[in-house]
Amino acid sequence: MAANYRLAQRHGESRSVVRIGAVTFGDGRFTLVGGPCSIESAEQIGRAAQGVRAAGGAMLRGGAYKPRTSPYDFQGLGDEGLPLIAEAGARAGLPVVVEALAVTQVPLVARFADMIQIGARNMQNVPLLRAAALTGRPILLKRGPSATLDELLLAAEYVLLEGNERVVLCERGIRGFDPETRNVCDLAGALRLRELTHLPVILDPSHASGRRSLIEPLTLAAAAAGLDGAIVEVHPNPREARCDAQQAIDLTEFERLAARVRAVRAVLEEVLEPAVSA
Ligand code: PEP
Ligand code: MN
């Protein structure tokens, strides 16, 4: 049976490369995005940006509007966070990705961010997908915690149908039954996605596991398996993070992670055939 999605469907061996300035997703490299769950202050996001840059990260992440499970938890700085991350990214020479939670936030996010994230909770929010797509900004589309790969690809199809071809898909863990890990990291699903679509696929090991100790090994697994990159929660002082503190690594840990990713990719390129062809 032919796939329901058409524009996202993979034909033959050719893969899409998504470009954001000098940053690329899908060209055979493993693109590392790092930054805090939420933007907290100019100092915090500035230090994160410098650390991500120094480690060799390609892009800065940070949320201004946080989709928290509890309404009593920190909801993010809102509009005020956007200029802070834009400036931190510009100083570090890193493009930035920020989530838009609602259609009304899209114009401002598009003004300050180089890429718009559509979060897991909003994967099937069709008006939001369309509004984000129409800005022309590249879209980071996260898989919903209970979404099938088919549903994720159909969500991507909404963006592609608006004429916006710059879509990066992100596996961030799906709902399981065991609270030992926050979610179930569906690495097999992410690899299967790369068979189904030409779009780049990256992993978010922070939300997938909910545990800082698992971020490095999961990222290395993704790099070894041939995914196109990872988006990692990095905070200058993780234990004081106002959001997702337990799943953020510090700048030194991010530097080690980036070095190990490079080592894994070098082995793949020089010694072994890549597990998944670029
Ligand atoms: C995030 O990236 O901080 C986030 C809230 O992610 P997700 O939508 O995957 O839960
Ligand atoms: Mn988070």
- Summarize pLDDT for 39-75 with one digit per residue, the tens: 999 999 999 999 999 999 999 999 999 999 999 999 9
Q: Which ligand is nearest to the CA of 234?
A: 2
Ion ligand 2: protein residues whose beta carbon lies under 5 Å: 37, 244
For residue 116, pLDDT over 60 is answered with yes
CA nearest ligand 1 atom 6, residue? 119
Q: What is the pLDDT of residue 89?
A: 98
Q: What is the pLDDT of residue 243?
A: 97
CA dihedral 196, 199, 205, 210 (to 10 degrees): -80
Q: How far is the CA of 233 from the centre of ligand 2 (A)?
A: 7
CA distance 268 to 275: 8
Q: How far is the CA of 249 from the centre of ligand 1 (A)?
A: 16
Q: What is the pLDDT of residue 98?
A: 98
Residues with C-beta less than 6 Å from any ligand 1 atom: 37, 63, 67, 119-121, 142, 172, 204, 207
Q: What is the pLDDT of residue 230?
A: 99
Please provide residue 219's backbone torsions phi and psi, each rounded to the nearest 5 degrees.
-65, -40
CA distance 32 to 52: 9
Helix axes 149-161, 126-134, angle to 10 degrees: 40
The reported pTM is: 0.96
Cβ–Cβ contacts within 10 Å for residue 213, how many?
Answer: 10
Structure tokens at 197: 């679509």
Q: What is the pLDDT of residue 270?
A: 83
Residue 276 banded pLDDT, cuts 50, 70, 90: low
Q: Which residues pair with 34 in a beta bridge?
A: 60, 232
For residue 260, pLDDT over 60 is answered with yes
| Coil, strand or helix at 102 | coil
Residue 34 banded pLDDT, cuts 50, 70, 90: very high
Mean pLDDT confidence for 220-227:
97
| Probe target for ligand 1 pocket from 204, 206, 231, with the most ligand atoms within 8 Å of CB | 204
CA distance 51 to 213: 19
CA nearest ligand 1 atom 10, residue? 120
